[in-house]
Amino acid sequence: MKFATKAIHVGQGADPATGATIVPVYQTSTFTQDAVGVTKGYDYSRAGNPTRTALEDCLASLENAQHGLAYASGCAATAAICHLMKAGDHMVVSSEVYGGTYRLFKMVMEDLGLNFTFVNPTGPDAFVNAMTPKTKLVWLESPTNPLLTVIDIESIAKAAKEKGCLTIVDNTFASPYFQQPLALGADIVLHSTTKYIGGHSDVIGGCVMTNNNDVYEKLKFIQKAVGAVPGPMDCYLTLRGLKTLAIRMEQHAKNAQAIAEHLSKHPKVSKVFYPGLASHPQHALAKKQMSGFSGMMSFEIKGDVAQTKKVMESFKLFSLAESLGGVESLLCYPALMTHAAIPASERDKIGISDGLIRLSVGIEDVDDLIKDVDQALATI
Ligand code: P1T
């Protein structure tokens, strides 16, 4: 079965109890048992719920994984993976990650005795050199948020495997439609389903997919024991959004490519970060490991911070908002919004400047989006 068909059908057969064509919202915390310990497969919704099972099965199929697990948010999924480590264990992390991922590692997990080394993501050697006998996990996000750096998943996963470490890829920016990290050798894939997978900016969620049975058993236990699970209505909304993922991603990528090309010729723009541009430093790698370049981009204007803010506040169709991946276009100021948790000195080192604007390009008519970009830039 191909991607678009799986998104609509896997895990979503007619409801066995009623024949409902669409997976019902099983809005129940508990399940009546036929006799003590005799259930129809579910006993309590923290452990499992049929609406969640449908979502987990469908998500797994989209990453060609045997197992899928859904969480209450992308950060909850990230925290679940941290629970695979014990105090004293070490993770090598790409220095370019979502600000909330950095915050969770540095400000929550380090206090519990986990250790993290952040490395420049552009050379596989940096990951290998940072590994110690205590390293258990390697964390990649590709393309990165918000600089759209493309990381060589295959090389790093291979090197990690040789050292006995598991590689995790946060695949939120690409979506499973454009990138399949497990096929590139990664052990675990993670998404904030709040973004492209849900696709309509109306639900928070996260997920993890793997083919490793041992990792799945551990994560399944952690999911139940920690309890950061999505409710049935959240699973329903995510599943509803997921059905159109393929068609949405095509349009996101088409619109983003057109806007990136337009911006790169614009006299008021100094730099554009989009993996679909031939000028992107990892364009060749992006072409090799992704089947499309998705809908996220960033750019810098020729101007100071005040002018950057003026431009940002002048958009009319793009909303000034955190998050990404919805059908509507958004823009954000990473330094003060999504990546504010990263200290300014670290942001400078990474390249998240005070002039950086991030766009989540939606699926509106691209002519309207380009007009909006142009009128905002015309204000300075
Ligand atoms: O917001 P939540 O569902 O918990 O997902 C966290 C997360 C994880 N990974 C990546 C790559 C992300 O971008 C995010 C969330 N990001 C934003 C809210 C943002 O605007 O970038």
What local confidence, expressed as pLDDT, does residue 123 receive? 82
Instruction: Indicate if 219 and 263 belong to the same structural domain.
Output: no
- From the list 15, 42, 43, 46, the catalytic residue is 46
Query: Could you identify the atom of ligand 1 that is nearest to the CA of residue 77?
Result: 4
Instruction: List the CATH number of the domain containing 157.
Output: 3.40.640.10
Instruction: Indicate if 325 and 237 belong to the same structural domain.
Output: no
Instruction: Indicate if 209 and 121 belong to the same structural domain.
Output: yes
**pLDDT, tens only, 114-141:** 999 999 999 889 999 999 999 999 999 9
Over residues 161-183, the mean pLDDT reads 98
Instruction: Indicate if 110 and 151 belong to the same structural domain.
Output: yes
Q: How far is the CA of 14 from the centre of ligand 1 (A)?
A: 33
Percent of the chain topping pLDDT 70: 100
Instruction: Indicate if 24 and 139 belong to the same structural domain.
Output: yes
Q: Write out the DSSP string of 170-198.
A: E-TTTHHHH--GGGGT-SEEEEETTTTTT
Q: How far is the CA of 110 from the centre of ligand 1 (A)?
A: 20
What local confidence, expressed as pLDDT, does residue 197 receive? 98
Query: Is residue 46 among the annotated active site residues?
Result: yes
Average predicted confidence (pLDDT) for the chain: 97
Query: Residue 361 above 90 pLDDT?
Result: yes
Instruction: Indicate if 40 and 129 belong to the same structural domain.
Output: yes
Query: Could you identify the atom of ligand 1 that is nearest to the CA of residue 195?
Result: 3
Over residues 265-290, the mean pLDDT reads 98
- From the list 71, 98, 177, 236, the catalytic residue is 98
Instruction: Indicate if 119 and 227 belong to the same structural domain.
Output: yes
pTM for the full predicted model: 0.98
Over residues 66-85, the mean pLDDT reads 98
Instruction: Indicate if 7 and 136 belong to the same structural domain.
Output: yes
Total of domains in the chain: 2
Q: How far is the CA of 332 from the centre of ligand 1 (A)?
A: 13
Instruction: Indicate if 267 and 224 belong to the same structural domain.
Output: no
Instruction: Indicate if 267 and 181 belong to the same structural domain.
Output: no
Which of the listed residues 211, 242, 273 is the one where a domain comes to its end?
242
- The C-alpha atoms of residue 269 and residue 262 are separated, in whole angstroms, by 10
Query: Is residue 98 among the annotated active site residues?
Result: yes
CA-nearest residue, atom 13 of ligand 1: 98
Instruction: Indicate if 126 and 261 belong to the same structural domain.
Output: no
Instruction: Indicate if 19 and 56 belong to the same structural domain.
Output: yes
Query: Is residue 274 among the annotated active site residues?
Result: no
- The C-alpha atoms of residue 243 and residue 7 are separated, in whole angstroms, by 5
- The C-alpha atoms of residue 357 and residue 46 are separated, in whole angstroms, by 39
Instruction: List the CATH number of the domain containing 295.
Output: 3.90.1150.10
Which of the listed residues 242, 269, 285 is the one where a domain comes to its end?
242
Ligand 1: lining residues by beta carbon, under 6 Å: 73-75, 98, 100-101, 141, 145, 170, 172-173, 192, 194, 204, 206, 322-324, 332, 338
Q: Which domain holds residue 80?
A: 3-242
- The C-alpha atoms of residue 68 and residue 58 are separated, in whole angstroms, by 8
Which of the listed residues 242, 264, 299 is the one where a domain comes to its end?
242
